[in-house]
Amino acid sequence: MTAAMTPSLLQVSDLKVRFCTADGELQALRSVSFDMQPGEVLAVVGESGSGKTQLALALMGLLAENGSASGTAMFQGHDLLSCGQARLNRLRGSEMAMIFQDPESTLNPYLNIGRQMSEVLEQHRRMPHAQALQVAEEMLHQVRIGNPRECMQQYPHELSGGMQQRIVIAMGLLCQPALLIADEPTTALDVTVQADINRLMLDLRERYQTAIMLITHDLGVVAGLADRVLVLYAGQTMEYAAVRDLYRQPEHPYSRALVRAVPQLDSQHGAGLQPIPGNPPNPLQIPSGCPFRDRCEFAFTDCTATPLLRPARHGGQIACHLETLPE
Amino acid sequence: MNTASTDSRPVVLKVTELQCSYPVHGGGLLRRHEQRQQILHGVSFDLARAEALAIIGESGSGKTTLARAVLGLLPVDHGEVSWRGESLLQLSAEEMRLRRRDMQMVFQDPQASLNPRMTIGDILAEPLHTFYPNMAAVQVRERVRGMLKMVGLLPHVLNRYAHEFSGGQCQRIAIARALILNPRLLVCDEPVSALDVSIQAQIIYLLKDLQRKLQLSLLFIGHDLALVPYLCDRVMVLYMGEIMELADCDRLYSQPVHPYTRAMLAAIPRPDPDWRPESVTTRAHDTRSSSEERPPGCIFSDRCPHVQQRCLEERPRLRQVRRRQVSCHFAEALMADSDSN
Amino acid sequence: MLRYALERLLTAIPTLLLLITLAFFLIRLAPGGPFDAERALSPEIEQNLNQLYHLDEPLPLQYFRYLGQILRLDFGPSFQYRDWTVNQLIAQGFPVSLTIGGLALLLGLLAGVLIGMLAALRQNHWLDYLLMSLAMAGLSIPAFVLAPILVLLFAVHFGWLPAGGWEWRLQYMLLPILTLAMPLVAYVARLTRASMIEVMRTGFIRTARAKGLPLHQIVLRHAWKPALLPVVSYLGPAAAAVITGSVVIEKIFTIPGLGTYFVQGALNRDYTLVLGVVIFYGMLIILFNLLVDLLYAWMDPQIHLDSREGY
């Protein structure tokens, strides 16, 4: 679907993430493959328990102690899953950065903003402290913080949620990484601030050519931001498509249900809002066959067999037994 | 000041000129000169029987404070809250406790609001035991099962614990607990904000269904305007402790007047690949300490795209403009503007 | 900060007054008097002595007289060490006790924090289990068991260190300090381990890892402050524990510190000496707790001492 001439920035194949828990083995991701081009915005969409956050953490090497990842994730010639701590530390913060959902808990409450930002440059660019502070201040200006100098002296608790998230974004962009992973970056923020932050990410992507992996449960948020969308359900890829195709002609019942679940104010009340019945499955007990079939209005006998990921008509991929999605 | 809701249903809750504040500086241990930060700056509204009113505001707007003050969970500095003609602020603690049977609350984080060490059955039965200690066990069980069915859960959940359920299911349980005493007022504080978008609609429809069926009065507290029209009859937009606009949903959504309402509507993301988020309001200095001096003029003036000199000098009063209440000097002009478009 | 400190010192006055009152009357409740222990004195001499020290006056009067004395920071004459005032005794014994106690506290903190951090970073590894088992042992062995074992080992068996007594030399300090520090090391280690494990799981440590910082940087820049906060708040009780511990230790190793005087004073109903030591230590603990709170506030930027947020 994208011109495959340029080499991929990130190529993930057969990524699996498992956790050993007291209640048994939990498969958070069961074979997910995708690729990202330089400067591309990929939205990873799914409900809670879909494994979307674990996908990001696995790529960043930040899985919890009881978790393990298998498969390959080639990023700038290195396999992120097997390259080892030292290599990973050279890439993290420098070539790839991550933004977390809750900016409040992302920032260290015991250090001022200046310290937390400058250390990235000192670590990766071997910059002297004074110079690092200067560059950090300039980056705060880039994310439209009114008084960067004052902000550098402040501690996180003195700042609003929107400010904190701007700072986290600025921190991620300091070394101008090739890939920025943003896990629900605006979920904890007010709507007007959310619009600001989304706008900001688009602008920064234009300026620095940073590829962005945007993780969310809300298809409303990513429509105007993403180039492609990867829809996950119970740790599996349901649909992988260009953003226009996914919204205009989704081929998987789950993708369409997600699109229709977004409240739309333009339509008459009641018509635009369609809940997906039921609840996402417990990751410890994923049913065999298509994981979505209990909630799918088109489920039929074939769905007891696991659908394989296959090429879709829109040029992407889907995992569904339906030939065509009925209206 | 209060516009009665458009129909003739009797008003059950009447809030007049409510002011609330929090202590901010405890002072020293010896000289305890207390400073208070005012959260609500004179909020008035009323709520009719079986009516659903949305109170919408961003962080710092005072929406949660308002809900708590109405339920008597917070001291009120000034103003009046009356429930079915009776002032709630004069009641003793015990009298208030009994009134609270009529007013129940659903919280934002469903998992956190359910006791992890109690079974769902016990959680649902507890309010009955508290208020009706003489109720027979059979009757309690009957009522609990009936309530479960009403919120769309199966009886087998009774012996399980909150952590075994997903967010949406927990919220159903929380709603069942709130309704088990047959309240007349249900206050929902961001009941779907912690849920997946796909599940939010389920809960909204469930609330709407129950509200109609049980003729409940409903206060829905939220931080955005997206889901409001699916559930509520009227909507109040709150900004920094003041009402910006209060109107029927139909009117407000078809023609928002206050610039803040418009900004909030414009910011709602659309599931449309051609839509780009607009940077509506850039506030350069938003430090957390909101104890700064309030400007003498309009509280929204520093973010308003239509700001004029008058907005900086004179505080607009909440006033009636064509069957809605708006707090803006230029409401008529803004309306005419959108009429002509 | 300064205003806070002054306020805290002012509020310490009622606490101190309560301490003085309690101590004053409690010791009087104990049977016997200061001049009973030695060979029987003639009633006349005893009466004279009582008169000299105002012990024949009604108790409330004695109490207020004593308060007046304390205001002048004068703890009065010792009943037992006849030619000494309590102030002089404190001046003589305290440097010894301070040296042993202070060094034990320092050792307890340093070793405890180091062990705790190490165990936390190797959580559920054999090293963690080993260190924590040792800590458990350190906590459960009382000083009067540990001290003889150490003496047997290092003084009697190897003959490296003296079994007791006091000179201003390291050999004489080593065993007392070690005995006094042991439970402290153990407790601080467990405290540090628990809080360090918790801190390493927080969002901001995850951020630090996501920034590509190496482990030592994460610990030295991001984790140590929050991880040590519980240890800092334990400093107050730790100081009190060292003081009570030193009473036993000084007795075991026959060290002429404040603790020894205190025990002697208590046995001999040397009212002024006991009261003097109790009040002196009371003031010390109050002062120390204030310093700890200031330290805590310095470490945690979310705490404002002069204007606490009150939500």
Q: What is the CATH number of the domain that holds A216?
A: 3.40.50.300
pLDDT score of B27 more than 50? no
Query: Which residue of chain A comes nearest to C206, CA vs CA?
Result: A62
Q: How far apart are the C-alpha atoms of A224 and B26, rounded to whole Å?
A: 47
CA angle (A68, A73, A76) in 5-degree steps: 135
In a domain, A257, yes or no: yes
Can you spell out the DSSP letters for B261-321?
Answer: HHHHHHHS--S-TT---------S--BS-TTSPPPSS-TTTTT-TT--HHHHHSPPPPEE-
Q: Clarify whether residues A194 and A283 are in a common domain.
A: yes
Q: Do B28 and C309 touch (CB under 8 A)?
A: no
Structure confidence at residue A71 (pLDDT): 96
Q: Clarify whether residues A242 and A160 are in a common domain.
A: no
Q: How far apart are the C-alpha atoms of C297 and C8, rounded to whole Å?
A: 14
Structure confidence at residue A272 (pLDDT): 66
Residue owning tokens 């016997």? C32
pLDDT score of C298 more than 60? yes
In a domain, A198, yes or no: yes
Q: Clarify whether residues A210 and A259 are in a common domain.
A: yes
Taking the Cβ of residue C4 and every Cβ of chain B, the question of whether any pair is shorter than 8 Å is answered with yes
Burial class from Cβ neighbours inside 10 Å (0-12, 13-18, 19+) for residue C141 reads middle
Residue owning tokens 């690949």? B273
Structure confidence at residue C38 (pLDDT): 60
In a domain, A5, yes or no: no
Taking the Cβ of residue A219 and every Cβ of chain B, the question of whether any pair is shorter than 8 Å is answered with yes
Structure confidence at residue C308 (pLDDT): 42
Structure confidence at residue B292 (pLDDT): 55
| Averaged pLDDT for residues B278-301 | 62
Q: Clarify whether residues A121 and A243 are in a common domain.
A: no
In a domain, A204, yes or no: yes
Structure confidence at residue B139 (pLDDT): 94
Structure confidence at residue C53 (pLDDT): 80
For chain A, what is the domain count? 2
Q: Clarify whether residues A192 and A250 are in a common domain.
A: yes
Check the CA dihedral C33-C36-C37-C38 and report its sign: positive
pLDDT score of B285 more than 80? no
Q: Which residue has the higher pLDDT, B181 or A272?
A: B181
Structure confidence at residue B33 (pLDDT): 54
Closest CA to A175 of A100, A119, A226: A119
A&B contacts, CB < 8 Å: 165
Q: Do B269 and A162 touch (CB under 8 A)?
A: no
Tens digit of each residue's pLDDT (9 = 90 or more) over C159-206:
899 988 888 888 899 999 999 999 999 999 999 999 999 999 999 999
C125 contacts in chain A (CB < 8 Å): none
Q: How far apart are the C-alpha atoms of A82 and A70, rounded to whole Å?
A: 9
Q: What's the gap in Å between the CA of B80 and the closest CA on chain C?
A: 23
Choose the final residue of a domain: A146, A174, A202: A174
Q: Clarify whether residues A64 and A151 are in a common domain.
A: no
Structure confidence at residue C39 (pLDDT): 62
Structure confidence at residue A266 (pLDDT): 64
Q: Clarify whether residues A159 and A183 are in a common domain.
A: no
Choose the final residue of a domain: A116, A142, A174: A174
pLDDT score of B3 more than 60? no
Q: How far apart, in Å, do the first and last CA atoms of chain B sit?
A: 30
Structure confidence at residue B333 (pLDDT): 92
pTM: 0.87
Residue A103 sits at φ, ψ, to 5 deg, of -60, -30
Question: Which domain, by its residues, includes A287?
Answer: 10-95+179-264+271-318
| Helices assigned H by DSSP within chain A | 52-60, 85-91, 103-106, 113-124, 129-142, 148-153, 161-173, 191-208, 219-222, 243-248, 253-260
Q: What's the gap in Å between the CA of A153 and the closest CA on chain B?
A: 13
Tens digit of each residue's pLDDT (9 = 90 or more) over B189-246:
999 988 998 899 999 999 999 999 999 999 999 998 989 999 999 999 999 999 999 9
Q: Clarify whether residues A69 and A199 are in a common domain.
A: yes
Q: How far apart are the C-alpha atoms of C163 and A268, rounded to whole Å?
A: 92
In a domain, A310, yes or no: yes
Q: Which residue has the higher pLDDT, B125 or A195?
A: B125
Q: Which of the listed ranges A262-276, B229-243, B277-291, C59-73 does the model predict with the highest average pLDDT?
A: B229-243
pLDDT score of B1 more than 50? no
CA-based radius of gyration for chain B: 21
Structure confidence at residue B30 (pLDDT): 45
| Helices assigned H by DSSP within chain B | 63-70, 93-99, 110-113, 120-131, 137-150, 167-179, 197-214, 228-231, 249-254, 259-267, 309-313, 331-340
In a domain, A3, yes or no: no
Tens digit of each residue's pLDDT (9 = 90 or more) over C205-259:
999 999 999 999 999 999 999 999 999 999 999 999 999 899 889 989 999 999 9
Number of other CB atoms surrounding residue B95 within 10 Å: 13
Structure confidence at residue A193 (pLDDT): 82
Q: Clarify whether residues A138 and A165 are in a common domain.
A: yes
B253 contacts in chain A (CB < 8 Å): 265
In a domain, A252, yes or no: yes
What is the SS3 assignment for A237? Answer: strand
pLDDT score of B291 more than 60? no
Domains located in chain C, CATH noted: 91-268 (1.10.3720.10)
Percent of chain C's residues with pLDDT above 70:
96
For chain B positions 26-65, those within 8 Å of chain C (CB to CB) are: 26-30
Number of other CB atoms surrounding residue B15 within 10 Å: 22
Structure confidence at residue A6 (pLDDT): 66
Q: Clarify whether residues A137 and A223 are in a common domain.
A: no
In a domain, A1, yes or no: no
Q: Clarify whether residues A60 and A111 are in a common domain.
A: no
Structure confidence at residue C83 (pLDDT): 85
Closest CA to B182 of B251, B132, B239: B132
Choose the final residue of a domain: A128, A148, A174: A174
Q: Clarify whether residues A202 and A310 are in a common domain.
A: yes
Which residues in chain A show pLDDT less than 70? 1-6, 266-272
Candidates A160, A216, A282: best to mutate against B (most CBs of B within 10 A) is A160
Structure confidence at residue C306 (pLDDT): 55
Taking the Cβ of residue C306 and every Cβ of chain B, the question of whether any pair is shorter than 8 Å is answered with yes
Structure confidence at residue B288 (pLDDT): 42
